[in-house]
């Protein structure tokens, strides 16, 4: 049986981890490579790096970072943030990234999903979607949830799948940062309508939230950041809790 | 020393990085003559099987693979290339195994691609899986699979149907999963191959 995946997400800027990290054994809390290695040792199934580097010079650092991670970490990882063109994705995949994640760029120009899928294969293309519930429905949001679009989230996800997305990473901006649990109702609704893997994101606060999203929404993977970075949830403990609840994990 | 067949089908950075980390020497095989320099050969590959076969032919290496008598390991699409045929691109392949590479779509109700960690069961005694227990999880990412065949399947995986996670015939081995991304068990498998 395919195992449910647990995915820590790291925000990086100019090759350094941005958000505070509180690991006991860490020599350098700002070093994404060391963090990634720690997570792989703890039993994380996959990693996502969200690159919030703004400058062109900084993006070169990102390529070096991807290479360093690939050299030292033996689990798959995705890199997202600022990937607008085939050439951006190409250099990252050739530097050892397993997948690239695209978000705003795909909303602005949906054809890049088709182009990426044709160039690299669907399995390399993760479409990340930020959603917020407003005016009685879920709408796609851009720029970290700040800018609302007129696009219904369910319509966009179905279009992304049709165009060649290999996975959907769905973040509920309403739940993100609340630590009140994932948006399982909406995740379930989406999951029933798509035939590609769905990664839940936004709202993880405790171990039960992971149990709930796997049991209620049957998502393929769950992603979180702060609960892992601050050591509030240790991955081996989480895996044990999931096992105890009959959820298949590695 | 391991020679990696260099025919331009996908990125091999992670594979070479893993071999380097494990202290396994490797080099690139660009021409048929270079095959003889190495004790073992890896055929990597990601992406579209039909397109990969085309590239392998264009590299001039395809016709020399069957004659190799040293251990050969195909990974992912590199494994699929060793079968006779793939539904991906309706392509005739190397035919080192009388098996077919089939499309998950239309055969299963589960999600495609098959992405993530799945448990495998190796056949008893396959040297590639020495020290790796039944039920070990490996990382898979694929939309096409190699059918099960009792004669050549070296490890099975279940994804609604039972298929070949690994194949073995004489000196030829193939794995559908990515050992370079499969944690300690993946590293063990590569170390096993490096001492075959």
Domains of chain A, residue spans = 5-244
Average pLDDT, chain A: 91
Predicted confidence at residue A27, as pLDDT, reads 56
Predicted confidence at residue A21, as pLDDT, reads 55
Among residues A173, A170, A210, the alpha carbon closest in space to that of A187 is found at A170
Predicted confidence at residue B56, as pLDDT, reads 92
What does the pLDDT look like over A151-183, one tens digit per residue? 999 999 999 999 999 999 999 999 998 999 999
Q: Least CA distance to B108: which residue of chain A?
A: A195
CA atoms of A96 and A90, how far apart (whole Å): 10
The answer to whether B125 and B155 have CB atoms below 8 angstroms apart is no
Q: Does B98 touch chain A (CB under 8 A)?
A: no
Task: Provide, as residue numbers in chain A, all residues whose Cβ is less than 8 Å from the Cβ of B110.
Answer: 2
CA atoms of A49 and B131, how far apart (whole Å): 33
Average pLDDT, chain B: 95
Are the Cβ atoms of A197 and B110 closer than 8 angstroms?
no
ipTM of the complex: 0.91
CA atoms of A88 and A82, how far apart (whole Å): 8
Collapsing DSSP to helix, strand or coil, B140 comes out as strand
Q: What is the rounded (10 degree) CA torsion for A56, A34, B135, B111? A: -20
Average pLDDT over residues B169-189: 97
Contacts of A50 (CB under 8 A, 6+ apart): A9, A10, A11, A12, A80, A81, A101
The answer to whether A168 and A198 have CB atoms below 8 angstroms apart is yes
What does each C-alpha distance from A6 to A32, A80, A98, A216, B63 come to in angstroms? 18, 17, 16, 16, 43
Based on the residue annotation, tell me whether A130 is a catalytic residue of this protein.
yes
How is residue A250 written in tokens? 């590695």
Q: Does B135 touch chain A (CB under 8 A)?
A: no
Q: Which of A3, A68, A73, A96 to mutate to test the interface with B (most CBs of B within 10 A)?
A: A96
Q: What percent of chain B has pLDDT over 90?
A: 91
Contacts of B179 (CB under 8 A, 6+ apart): B18, B75, B138, B186, B187, B189, B190
Q: Which of B18, B104, B133, B139 to mutate to test the interface with A (most CBs of A within 10 A)?
A: B139
Are the Cβ atoms of B183 and A195 closer than 8 angstroms?
no
Are the Cβ atoms of A70 and B14 closer than 8 angstroms?
yes
Helices (H), chain B: 13-21, 49-58, 62-65, 77-80, 183-194
Predicted confidence at residue A29, as pLDDT, reads 65
Number of domains in chain B: 1
Phi, psi of B69 (to 5 degrees): -110, -5
Predicted confidence at residue B46, as pLDDT, reads 80
Contacts of B66 (CB under 8 A, 6+ apart): B94, B95, B96
CATH number at residue B161: 3.40.50.880
pLDDT at B45 > cutoff 80: yes
| Residue from A88, A130, A174, A176 carrying the catalytic annotation | A130
CATH topology of domain A5-244: TIM Barrel (3.20.20)
Q: How many residues does chain B have?
A: 196
Q: Does B196 touch chain A (CB under 8 A)?
A: no
What does the pLDDT look like over B94-131, one tens digit per residue? 999 999 999 999 999 999 999 999 999 999 889 999 99
Query: Could you list the residue range(s) of the whole structural domain that residue B46 is in?
Result: 2-194
CA atoms of A165 and A152, how far apart (whole Å): 17
Task: Provide, as residue numbers in chain B, all residues whose Cβ is less than 8 Å from the Cβ of A161.
Answer: none
Q: Nearest C-alpha of chain B: how many angstroms from A42? A: 11
pLDDT at A145 > cutoff 90: no
């Amino acid at each position: 049986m395919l195992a449910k995946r647990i995915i820590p997400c790291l925000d990086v800027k100019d090759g350094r981890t941005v958000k505070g990290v509180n690991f006991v054994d860490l020599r350098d809390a700002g070093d994404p490579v060391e963090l990634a290695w720690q997570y792989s040792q703890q039993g994380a199934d996959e990693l996502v790096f969200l690159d919030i580097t703004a400058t062109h010079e900084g993006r070169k650092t990102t390529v070096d970072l991807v290479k360093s991670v690939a050299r030292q970490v033996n689990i798959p990882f995705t890199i997202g943030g600022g990937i607008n063109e085939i050439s951006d994705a190409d250099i990252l995949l050739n530097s050892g990234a397993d997948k690239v994640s695209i978000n705003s760029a795909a909303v602005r120009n949906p054809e890049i999903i088709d182009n990426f899928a044709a160039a690299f294969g669907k399995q390399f293309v993760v479409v990340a979607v930020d959603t917020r519930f407003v005016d009685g429905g879920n709408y796609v949001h851009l720029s970290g949830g700040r800018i609302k679009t007129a696009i219904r989230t369910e319509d966009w996800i179905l279009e992304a799948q049709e165009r060649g997305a290999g996975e959907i990473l769905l973040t509920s901006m309403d739940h993100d940062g609340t630590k009140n649990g994932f948006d399982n109702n909406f995740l379930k609704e989406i999951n029933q309508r798509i035939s590609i893997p769905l990664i839940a994101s936004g709202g993880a606060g405790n171990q039960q939230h992971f149990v709930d999203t796997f049991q209620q929404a049957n998502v393929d993977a769950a992603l979180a950041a702060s609960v892992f970075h601050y050591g509030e949830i240790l991955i081996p403990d989480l895996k044990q809790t999931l096992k105890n609840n009959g959820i298949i994990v590695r | 020393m391991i020679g990696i067949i260099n025919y331009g089908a996908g990125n091999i950075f992670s594979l070479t990085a893993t071999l380097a980390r494990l202290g396994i020497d490797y080099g690139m095989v660009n021409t048929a003559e270079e095959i003889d320099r190495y004790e073992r050969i890896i055929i990597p590959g990601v992406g579209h099987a039909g397109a990969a076969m085309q590239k392998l032919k264009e590299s001039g290496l395809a016709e020399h693979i069957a004659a190799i008598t040293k251990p050969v390991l195909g990974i992912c699409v590199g494994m699929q290339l060793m079968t006779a045929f793939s539904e991906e691109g309706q392509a005739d392949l190397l035919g080192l195994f009388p098996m077919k590479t089939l499309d998950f779509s239309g055969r299963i109700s589960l999600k495609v691609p098959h992405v993530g960690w799945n448990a495998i069961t190796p056949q008893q005694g396959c040297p590639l899986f020495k020290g790796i227990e039944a039920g070990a999880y490996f990382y898979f990412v694929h939309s096409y699979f190699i059918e099960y065949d009792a004669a050549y399947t070296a490890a099975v995986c279940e994804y609604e149907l039972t298929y070949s996670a690994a194949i073995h015939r004489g000196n030829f081995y193939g794995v559908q999963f990515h050992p370079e991304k499969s944690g300690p068990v993946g590293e063990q498998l590569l170390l096993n191959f490096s001492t075959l």
